[in-house]
């Protein structure tokens, strides 16, 4: 008796799951159909479009607002992991672990880890994409950040809690601090300057006390920031000021 009811419960649970997946699929299909001009009937066996890259096409059409929403959601997951040490089990290779993958480092503890650095690294991808997308908008708008950019960052990056070093915004600043020179080389001084000033202008600001974060004090010191105890938009402006006396003309 007991066994049977257990079985049926499981069975029901499984079929529920299936049903859910199916309806999700249906939903997706409907969405796709809506997006295309001529919806192909589902009975057709030959595909009308040979493109397999639908997903990646969608990705590149992602707006900055979408991207930041995704990163913001992601940051909640990272926060949850990092705030609950019980959730992060010790990696079986611990100190001899060679996996540098940020996902792995967030998921598992290593007794020789720098927790702060693990978190910063977890946001590297978001920072890269944020700058990439911002650059795209900047270029499309005649070397100026468009209104869309200001609205997007105000929506997802603004925080009033300057003690919150788990916030997406803080971790983006941390990545700009640590990889600033690379970003300046990849884009341009003027762009990075506009980005930092633009954040300041839309009240995406904060002076984060990093006196207990040597990995961040170090990058501020490296760029000769006037104050290496607080991480902020303006502290990072040293990235573009310091190198300006190398007088490389921007064309
Ligand atoms: Zn490991």
Task: Measure 231 CA to ligand 1 centroid, in angstroms.
Answer: 30
Task: Measure 92 CA to ligand 1 centroid, in angstroms.
Answer: 7
For 127-159, what is each residue's pLDDT tens digit?
A: 999 999 999 999 999 999 999 999 999 999 999
For 13-56, what is each residue's pLDDT tens digit?
A: 444 444 444 444 444 444 444 444 444 444 444 544 444 444 44
More confident residue, 5 or 239: 239
- At residue 250 the predicted structure's pLDDT band, cuts being 50, 70 and 90, is low
Task: Measure 52 CA to ligand 1 centroid, in angstroms.
Answer: 34
Task: Measure 59 CA to ligand 1 centroid, in angstroms.
Answer: 30
Task: Measure 88 CA to ligand 1 centroid, in angstroms.
Answer: 11
Q: Report how far residue 30's alpha carbon sits from residue 49's, in angstroms, rounded to the nearest whole number.
A: 17
Q: What is the pTM of this model?
A: 0.73
- At residue 85 the predicted structure's pLDDT band, cuts being 50, 70 and 90, is confident
**Residue 175, phi then psi, degrees to nearest 5:** -70, -40
Task: Measure 108 CA to ligand 1 centroid, in angstroms.
Answer: 6
Task: Measure 93 CA to ligand 1 centroid, in angstroms.
Answer: 6
Residues, beta carbon < 5 Å, ion ligand 1: 91, 93, 97, 99
Task: Measure 87 CA to ligand 1 centroid, in angstroms.
Answer: 15
Per the prediction, the chain carries an average pLDDT of 82
Task: Measure 111 CA to ligand 1 centroid, in angstroms.
Answer: 10
- Average pLDDT for residues 107-129, to the nearest whole number? 96
Write down how long the chain is: 251
């Amino acid at each position: 008796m007991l066994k049977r009811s257990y079985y049926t419960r499981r069975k029901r649970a499984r079929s529920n799951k299936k049903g859910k997946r199916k309806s999700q699929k249906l939903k997706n299909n409907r969405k796709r159909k809506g997006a295309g001009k001529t919806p192909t009937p589902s009975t057709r066996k030959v595909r009308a479009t040979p493109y397999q890259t639908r997903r990646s096409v969608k990705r590149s059409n992602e707006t900055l607002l979408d991207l930041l929403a995704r990163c913001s959601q992601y940051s909640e997951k990272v926060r949850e992991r990092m705030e609950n040490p019980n959730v992060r089990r010790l990696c079986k290779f611990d100190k001899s672990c060679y996996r540098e993958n940020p996902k792995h480092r967030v998921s598992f503890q290593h007794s020789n880890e720098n927790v702060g650095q693990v978190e910063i690294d977890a946001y590297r991808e978001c920072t890269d994409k944020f700058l990439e997308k911002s650059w795209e908008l900047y270029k499309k708008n005649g070397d100026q950040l468009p209104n869309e950019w200001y609205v997007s960052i105000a929506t997802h990056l603004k925080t009033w809690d300057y003690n919150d070093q788990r916030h997406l915004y803080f971790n983006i600043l941390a990545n700009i601090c640590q990889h600033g020179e690379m970003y300046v080389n990849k884009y341009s001084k003027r762009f990075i300057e506009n980005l930092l000033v633009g954040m300041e202008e839309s009240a995406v600001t904060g002076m984060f006390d990093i006196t207990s974060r040597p990995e961040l004090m170090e990058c501020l010191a490296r760029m000769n920031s006037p104050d290496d105890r607080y991480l902020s938009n303006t502290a990072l402006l040293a990235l573009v000021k310091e190198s300006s006396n190398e007088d490389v003309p921007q064309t």
